């Protein structure tokens, strides 16, 4: 079997981390099995869908390194849905219904008041041709429902959730087409999955009840149902579905200096029994991908943990992967020297400015002796290992200064700033000659 997966966002807004996780899992699974990954734009709701969102979806996936092997659009496929509806109609599996939203609401309230499940009572199935003609004569237009087969239980073995079992009599016959002729999600998705030979439907567990209905739709259309993997939902660190996560998208994540590789490493593995590890490329994620490792409990997503993972990913990134985002003039050796100290690639520019830029090393008069001593000691210490602790130890012994009174004048003289990266990491990169020169020049200005 050649694996085909699809990611099917509705282009009514930007992708959030939950959507991105679903996309990543579909992509990784297809890659793992040498299959195809499709992007399906679910734009049946033409009023709410926008072309800008379609572009943004593609751009967000591309940022992650995901390019679809094919793209389909539901708005280009209405003819296929018509044909499926006609077939189901001929076979008695769909029927027109005329209740208004208020009438349906009332029925539900009555059922709930009697302690019954609010399942549609199929009153429309009892309408005669005359009834329908009369209703249409009154100006009512039908919506269409799919008639579930109550004859046997709906069952499938979910790749994440294991054996699933639904009693169709406890489900309402779903509305598949509205009065105005527009399509609801349910039937088009099945028609597409059949036409596109989708073998694995991977989506959030909020779709499990839809799947129960769709399993019968596949059968009614003479197709074998695909495999299903319903993943547990994503929750925030506090263990709840937060509004914040529902709006957290690629733009904001990228602005925080998060690398696509870090986001992918995180989203690929949270909620699974595999460790979340820093990886600079998706290969290890593809290799280890297995729905059997997916847990049933909600997956916790924490931005703080993502930032920590990101730092570890940055430390792995080769020069070629970041070169175009580095300050001009920075070499591969420079990158490798700075890399272990970075939390984000953007920080490289700060370090670069400190190491090679012009340092405004103003100093105060009472620091002159300290800085002169520092210049002498810097020229004398062994630079082959840990020059900063060596310099500090000598200056403590020589000047009696400690703490801020010692560190701040040195930092200002060497970096022109009051704060910044660890001096212990900076000093070897500034190097002995430049260190001595900066200390002398600061002392001269004090
Ligand atoms: N457009 C649907 C959604 O975003 C697709 C669900 C599916 O994967 O079938 O929820």
* pLDDT value, residue 353: 86
Nearest ligand 1 atom to the CA of 42 is: 1
Instruction: Tell me which residue has its CA closest to atom 5 in ligand 1.
Output: 8
C-alpha of residue 40 to centroid of ligand 1, in Å:
9
User: What is the per-residue pLDDT across 329-367, written as a single tens digit (0 to 9) for each?
Assistant: 899 988 998 999 999 999 999 889 888 877 887 788 999
Domain shared by 421 and 286, yes or no: no
How many domains does the chain contain in total?
Answer: 5
C-alpha of residue 204 to centroid of ligand 1, in Å:
9
Angle (CA) 133-134-140 rounded to 5° is 90
User: What is the per-residue pLDDT across 213-243, written as a single tens digit (0 to 9) for each?
Assistant: 999 999 999 999 999 999 999 998 877 777 7
Residues 166, 230 contacting (CB under 8 angstroms): no
Can you tell me the mean pLDDT for 134-162? 97
Whether pLDDT at 275 is above 80 = yes
Q: Which residues form the pocket of ligand 1, taking CB atoms under 6 Å from any ligand atom?
A: 8-10, 42, 185, 189, 203, 207
The more confident residue out of 393 and 245 is 393
Whether pLDDT at 306 is above 90 = yes
Tell me the HSE value of 187 on the side-chain side, using a 13 A CA sphere.
31
* pLDDT value, residue 21: 97
Instruction: Provide the CATH number for the domain around residue 212.
Output: 3.40.50.620
Nearest ligand 1 atom to the CA of 10 is: 1
Q: Is 71 exposed, middle or buried (0-12, 13-18, 19+ CB in 10 A)?
A: middle
Nearest ligand 1 atom to the CA of 7 is: 8
Answer whether residue 210 is part of any domain: yes
Answer whether residue 84 is part of any domain: no
Domain shared by 435 and 301, yes or no: no
C-alpha of residue 435 to centroid of ligand 1, in Å:
59
Residues 401, 326 contacting (CB under 8 angstroms): no
* pLDDT value, residue 7: 98
- The last residue of a domain, from among 294, 328, 354: 354
* pLDDT value, residue 185: 95
Domain shared by 285 and 306, yes or no: yes
Whether pLDDT at 276 is above 90 = yes
Which residue from 21, 185, 233 has its CB within 8 A of the most atoms of ligand 1, so it is best to mutate? Answer: 185
Can you tell me the mean pLDDT for 143-155? 97
Residue 246's pLDDT band, with cuts at 50, 70 and 90, is: confident
The residue count for the chain: 446
Determine the structural domain holding residue 388 and report its residue range.
358-445
C-alpha of residue 91 to centroid of ligand 1, in Å:
27
C-alpha of residue 315 to centroid of ligand 1, in Å:
36
User: What is the per-residue pLDDT across 182-217, written as a single tens digit (0 to 9) for each?
Assistant: 999 999 999 999 999 999 999 999 999 999 999 999
C-alpha of residue 180 to centroid of ligand 1, in Å:
22
Which residue from 11, 23, 207 has its CB within 8 A of the most atoms of ligand 1, so it is best to mutate? Answer: 207
Instruction: Tell me which residue has its CA closest to atom 10 in ligand 1.
Output: 9
Look at residues 80, 86, 77 and name the one whose alpha carbon lies nearest to residue 44.
Answer: 77
Residue 403's pLDDT band, with cuts at 50, 70 and 90, is: very high
SS3 12: coil
The three-state DSSP-derived secondary structure of 286-330 is HHCCCHHHECCCCEEECHHHHHHHHHHHHCCCCHHHHHHHCCCCC
Instruction: Tell me which residue has its CA closest to atom 3 in ligand 1.
Output: 9
What DSSP assignment string belongs to 108-147?
Answer: HHHHHHTT-------GGGG--HHHHHHHHHTT---EEEE-
Can you tell me the mean pLDDT for 165-178? 97
* pLDDT value, residue 359: 83
Can you tell me the mean pLDDT for 361-377? 92
Angle (CA) 430-433-434 rounded to 5° is 45
Whether pLDDT at 174 is above 90 = yes
User: What is the per-residue pLDDT across 72-115, written as a single tens digit (0 to 9) for each?
Assistant: 999 999 999 999 999 999 999 999 999 999 999 999 999 999 99
Structure tokens that stand for 357 in this block: 């830029």
Nearest ligand 1 atom to the CA of 203 is: 8
* pLDDT value, residue 144: 98
Domain shared by 230 and 202, yes or no: yes
Can you tell me the mean pLDDT for 304-322? 97
Instruction: Provide the CATH number for the domain around residue 276.
Output: 1.10.1160.10
Nearest ligand 1 atom to the CA of 9 is: 4
C-alpha of residue 8 to centroid of ligand 1, in Å:
5
Answer whether residue 431 is part of any domain: yes
C-alpha of residue 25 to centroid of ligand 1, in Å:
14
Can you tell me the mean pLDDT for 381-394? 96
Residues 378, 439 contacting (CB under 8 angstroms): yes
Residue 415's pLDDT band, with cuts at 50, 70 and 90, is: very high
- The last residue of a domain, from among 177, 207, 224: 177
Which residue from 14, 42, 49 has its CB within 8 A of the most atoms of ligand 1, so it is best to mutate? Answer: 42
Answer whether residue 54 is part of any domain: yes
Nearest ligand 1 atom to the CA of 193 is: 9
Domain shared by 220 and 251, yes or no: no
Pairing of strands 162-166, 175-177: unpaired
Domain shared by 365 and 420, yes or no: yes
Angle (CA) 165-170-114 rounded to 5° is 145
* pLDDT value, residue 263: 98
Whether pLDDT at 288 is above 90 = yes
């Amino acid at each position: 079997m050649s694996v085909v997966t699809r990611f099917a966002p509705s282009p009514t807004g930007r992708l959030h981390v939950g959507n991105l996780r679903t996309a990543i899992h579909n992509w990784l699974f297809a890659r793992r099995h040498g299959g195809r990954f499709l992007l399906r734009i679910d734009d049946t709701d033409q009023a709410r869908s926008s072309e800008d969102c379609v572009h943004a979806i593609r751009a967000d996936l591309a940022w992650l390194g995901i390019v679809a092997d094919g793209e389909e659009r539901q708005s280009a496929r209405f003819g296929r849905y018509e044909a499926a509806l006609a077939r189901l109609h001929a076979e008695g599996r769909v029927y027109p219904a005329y209740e208004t939203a208020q009438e349906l609401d009332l029925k539900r309230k009555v059922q709930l008041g009697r302690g019954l499940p609010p399942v549609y009572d199929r009153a429309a199935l009892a309408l005669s041709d005359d009834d329908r003609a009369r209703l249409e004569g009154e100006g009512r237009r039908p919506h269409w429902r799919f008639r579930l087969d109550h004859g046997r239980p709906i069952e499938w073995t979910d790749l994440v959730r294991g054996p699933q079992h639904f009693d169709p009599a406890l489900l309402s016959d779903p509305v598949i087409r509205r009065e105005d002729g527009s399509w609801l999600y349910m039937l088009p998705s099945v028609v597409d999955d059949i036409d596109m030979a989708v073998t694995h439907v991977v989506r959030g567990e909020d779709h499990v009840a839809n799947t129960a209905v769709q399993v019968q739709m596949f059968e009614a259309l003479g197709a074998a149902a695909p495999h299903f993997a319903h993943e547990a939902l994503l929750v925030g660190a506090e263990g709840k579905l937060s509004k914040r996560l529902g709006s957290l998208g690629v733009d904001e994540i990228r602005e925080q200096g998060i690398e696509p590789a870090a986001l992918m490493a995180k989203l690929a593995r949270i909620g699974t029994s595999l460790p979340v590890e820093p990886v600079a490329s998706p290969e290890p994620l593809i290799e280890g991908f297995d729905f059997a490792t997916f847990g049933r409990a909600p997956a916790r997503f924490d931005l703080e943990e993502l930032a920590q993972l990101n730092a570890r990913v940055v430390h792995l990134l080769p020069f070629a992967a970041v070169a175009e985002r580095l300050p001009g003039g920075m070499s591969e050796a420079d990158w490798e020297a700075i890399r272990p100290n970075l939390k984000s690639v953007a920080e490289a520019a700060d370090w670069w400015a400190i190491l090679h830029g012009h340092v405004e090393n103003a100093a105060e008069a009472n620091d002159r002796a300290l800085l002169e001593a520092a210049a002498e000691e810097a020229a004398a210490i062994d630079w082959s290992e840990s020059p900063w602790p060596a310099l500090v130890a000598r200056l403590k012994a020589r000047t009696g200064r400690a703490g801020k009174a010692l560190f701040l004048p040195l930092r200002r003289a060497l970096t022109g700033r009051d704060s910044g990266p660890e001096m212990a990491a900076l000093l070897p990169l500034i190097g002995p000659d430049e260190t001595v020169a900066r200390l002398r020049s600061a002392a001269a200005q004090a």
